[in-house]
Amino acid sequence: MAPCSPDLVARRPWELAPGRLRALGVRGVLLDLDNTLIPYGYEGPVPEEVAGWLAELRRAGIAAALVTNAHPRRSLRWGAKLGLPALPFAAKPLPFAIHWAARRLGVPRPGLLLVGDQVFTDLLGGRLAGVRTALVEPLSPRELPHTGWLRRLERRCRDRYNGSGSAIGRTEEKR
Ligand SMILES: [Mg+2]
């Protein structure tokens, strides 16, 4: 499968229903932070939908970790806020943080799903590390300056897989 084809697509992470994930053999999720769980740069309280979904995952026996390229202090702060293990710096698409999270969660890589909003960090990182991937839509148009040109490349990728990814969500809508 091409590096830019996700296994799953959803508009928001919390549309990935834990029951469906379990049925697909997912036992652990590796979560991107900025523009996936929260808008880029957001520093407020944990949004209700995020807290609710993490609690549902826990009840379903699906482990979770934060795998974010955010600033080390921010990564650790959000890991603590969300109650998730986090490395200070993930450097996706390099695979080492994903391998660390797999060991930390005790879930073999085929049972892991990396959820993120970017093709060239999240999807490519997931592919290189040998885990499954889910692509969500970015929560906010704000992001790191260098992400802008990556997004232009990404658009070509998104155009190619649109309609071919497996949509999953509470609504089961195909994007
Ligand atoms: Mg992101």
The full set of domain ranges for the chain reads: 8-166
pLDDT at residue 141, as a whole number: 76
CA of 19 to the centre of ligand 1 (A): 24
Higher pLDDT, 77 or 87: 77
Count Cβ atoms below 10 Å from residue 52 Cβ, excluding itself: 12
Q: What is the pLDDT of residues 36-67, one digit of tens each?
A: 999 999 999 999 999 999 999 999 999 999 99
pLDDT at residue 170, as a whole number: 42
9-18, 28-37, 42-51, 147-156: which has the minimum mean pLDDT?
Answer: 147-156
CA of 163 to the centre of ligand 1 (A): 22
CA of 29 to the centre of ligand 1 (A): 15
CA of 73 to the centre of ligand 1 (A): 16
For the 8-166 domain, the top CATH level (class) is: alpha beta
Residue 75's pLDDT band, with cuts at 50, 70 and 90, is very high
Q: What is the pLDDT of residues 109-123, one digit of tens each?
A: 999 999 999 998 999
CA of 37 to the centre of ligand 1 (A): 8
Q: Dihedral, CA atoms, 93, 95, 98, 99, nearest 10 degrees?
A: 180
